[in-house]
Structure 1
Amino acid sequence: MPSDLPALGATQPTAGKDEGVRAVTVTPGVANSLSLVEDHPEPDAEEGSVLVEALAVGICGTDHEIIAGDYGEAPPGADRLIIGHESLGRVIEDSSGTLQPGDLVAGIVRHPDPVPCPNCAVGEWDMCRNGQYTEHGIKALPGFARDRWRIEHQYAVKLDPALAQVGVLLEPTSVVAKAWDHIERIGHRAEWQPQTVLVTGAGPIGLLAALLGTQRGLTVHVLDRNTEGPKPELVAGLGATYHTVTVNELPFEPDVVIECTGAPSVVLDVMCKAAPNGIVCLAGVSSGGRTIDFDAGALNRALVLENNVVFGSVNANRRHWSMAAQALARADQVWLESLVTRRVPVNRYADAYTAGPDDIKVVLEFAS
């Protein structure tokens, strides 16, 4: 859906620092506590050397779960959490000298734990062993849904200026960049020549996973239950094939599966559907609380006798964010823009956080 707001890449006057910061906040654990604070304090210099003027934040299922009170953790000493973890902004200043004013950037969401665990100690904070990591807009760090935010330079990812309209997609793209990175690492346990990819779920994660599959020259199939709306056309725009049948009705066995629905029945079906030496990446999170009957013995037999691998993947580290930035820069910008089905100005924040039937990616815009 086209926006009637100025282009995000356009030069806009920076708000004066004495005008206060608008920030979208919640009280963690309290359902429906979402509100827009008009005079939130400026970001503290201790948050990082890079001061950024927000252009936009993307909204995803995690935000909706935080708003529902399912989880979320305010920073130490605070009662409310600024949400928003899918960011895009322009650098105002960087006292470290790493970035220049006007640079287009996104902020890495997860930061390593203070211990640190062995993985966090080497920059693999997406694989944190002890769970003491922090996350902007989710866990113990203020989010990006505010007029200005700060971050340390090593967690700011510089973007190609051409991505000014779609750079807000960097965070979800980093998630699937990690998934593909790990798929390829596992694949090289043997001679590996994959041809066919199945992506289940045509939300933002699924569509971006399909994009990275087509960029690898693979034959990509996307399965989703929607027969109308923008999803079939978006899949066709990648040169991929769209399916609305069940997993078991698909006429092929995929070499790679990226499961993005979290639906328990779909998760089990794709485990059994993968081709010999197949790799199944679980990128969707199940809600839990549901039980289904299945033949665990048959699943075990299929996985063992066919040398198949099933693994879970979440979050991303700096390497994956860089991979994601390169993938977005190579992608068709018109196709990427079509993933954003609604752009909503911050003064209508409640509309942005109310899910619509044809939403794929909703973006809250801060650019004036």
Structure 2
Amino acid sequence: MRALTVTPGKADSLRLVDDAPEPTQAEGEVLVEAVAVGICGTDSEILAGDYGEPPAGRDTLVIGHESLGRVVEDPTGTLEPGDLVAGIVRHRDPVPCPYCAAGEWDLCSNGRYTECGIKGVDGFARQRWRVPAEYAVPLAPELGLAGVLLEPASVVAKAWDHIDRIGARGFWAPRRVLVTGSGPIGLLAALLSVQRGFETHVLARGTSGPKPELARRLGATYHAVPVADLDFDPDIIVECTGAPPVVREVFGKLAPNGVGCLTGINASAHHIELDLNELNRCLVLKNNVIFGTVNANRRHWAQAADALARADHDWLMGMITHRYGLDDYAQAYAEQSGIKTVIEF
């Protein structure tokens, strides 16, 4: 079996192997034939040797956490052969902590969770993979290759789920949403905003290429200016860049009773000054909430699958700007332009 492996902690160790072992029953009941994997910034960090953890007793890890495949067999009867599915990335810890025991493994409190293709468990960049039935999420067959967007969409679905829950603390009638960033997370955040009926604005640096056009095709307004230059204060901000200057501006831009969600992480050593007194005033005097989010649980994956099923298929496919075969894996992981790069099996 062919698979893409890395040695976590060792830079430039990505290899295509032809003799990877078949997935075992211990990995899960559902056997899946790979269709594609998506590539994101976390993969780049693993390839650079900055992140990643192999399964116990090994020094290599099968990479790939943005999955798409077709069911070969599911003895539990939950899924049928041929069903289009994606595998949930994070799995509950073995203790489990109270959060994992409640199915909220995205909130794991003891850090003993595993993540496919990232931490302690092989990922999906292999011809066949297995997952437990509870971690296999069915997708509408009409999605086809666009189903590979489910993992990033699940992160966005969690962000919106928590925004809704925080907003329900009292009377709330949000109207205007600002999404900062126009990568996959930003565009999917804007998609879910539009699906909720909000006036949606996307702010990013680029003025040409597919990103501004995709935002406009959603019905969102695209801005290529600093946050501070906007002539409105949004009720909701979904920050998807992780860029410190943008994050700082977001704090003071929220309208009263607003909710801001931070989804991005910046790995650079760049530091900026932050006026904590001003931040405190914004949060306290304006009744604002700013929170961070990472990963997702089964509920969010199901919400994301529903959102993708309701989206325009051509718009979703417009996000997939680069497609490579498995043999061209090195070029795929080196790709820096466009929006979403996928490797097809």
Q: TM-score of the superposition, structure 2-length normalised?
A: 0.99
Quote the Cα distance in structure 2 between the aligned partners of 1:141 and 1:346: 21
Partner of 1:87, secondary structure, is strand
Equivalent position of 1:135 in the other structure: 115
Cα separation, 2, equivalents of 1:307 and 1:287: 30
Counterpart residue number, 2:340: 361
Q: Shift of the alpha carbon at 1:356?
A: 2.9
Q: How many pairs are equivalent?
A: 345
Q: For 1:303, what is the secondary structure of its paired residue? A: helix
Q: Tell whether 2:162 aligns with 1:178.
A: no
Structure 1 counterpart of 2:60: 80
- 2:234 aligned residue (254, 272, 277): 254
Matches of 2:84 and 2:33 in 1, distance apart?
A: 10
Confirm or deny that 1:245 pairs with 2:225: yes
Counterpart position of 2:147:
167
Identity of aligned residues (%): 65
Secondary structure at 2:110 match in 1: coil
Give how far 1:286 is off. 2.4
For 1:41 and 1:313, the matched residues in 2 are separated by 35
The reply to whether residue 146 of structure 1 matches residue 146 of structure 2 is no
Distance in 1 of aligned mates of 2:279 and 2:59 = 46
Counterpart check, 1:316 vs 2:296: yes
Structure 2: 5+ residue stretches without partners: none
Distance (Å, rounded) in 2 between the aligned partners of 1:209 and 1:151:
27
What code does the residue aligned with 1:77 have? G
Q: Distance in 2 between matches of 1:287 and 1:165?
A: 30
Where does structure 1 differ by over 6 angstroms across 4 or more consecutive aligned residues? none
Deviations 1:174-214 (A, max 9, x none): 00000000000000111111000000000000000000000
- Structure 1's unaligned 5+ residue stretches are 1-20
2-structure distance, mates of 1:136, 1:116: 18
Distance 2:300 2:271 in 1: 34
Q: Deviations over 1:100-151 (max 9, x none)?
A: 1111110000000111111000100001111110000000000000000011
Structure 2 counterpart of 1:46: 26
1:126 corresponds, among 81, 106, 110, to 106
2 CA distance for matches of 1:299 and 1:288? 23
Aligned counterparts, 1:62-101, within 5 A? 62-101=42-81
* Displacement after TM superposition at 1:288 (Å): 5.2
Contact 2:33 2:72 in 1 (8 A): yes
1:68-127 CA distances to partner (integer Å, 9 max, x unpaired)?
001100001111000000000001111222211111110000000111111000100001
Q: Distance in 2 between matches of 1:238 and 1:219?
A: 11
Of 236, 261, 266, which residue of structure 1 is paired with 2:246?
266
Return the letter of the residue paired with 1:212. Answer: L
Alignment partners' CA distance in 1, 2:268 and 2:327: 35
- Secondary structure, counterpart of 2:18 in structure 1: strand
**Aligned equivalents of 2:35 and 2:182: distance in 1?**
26
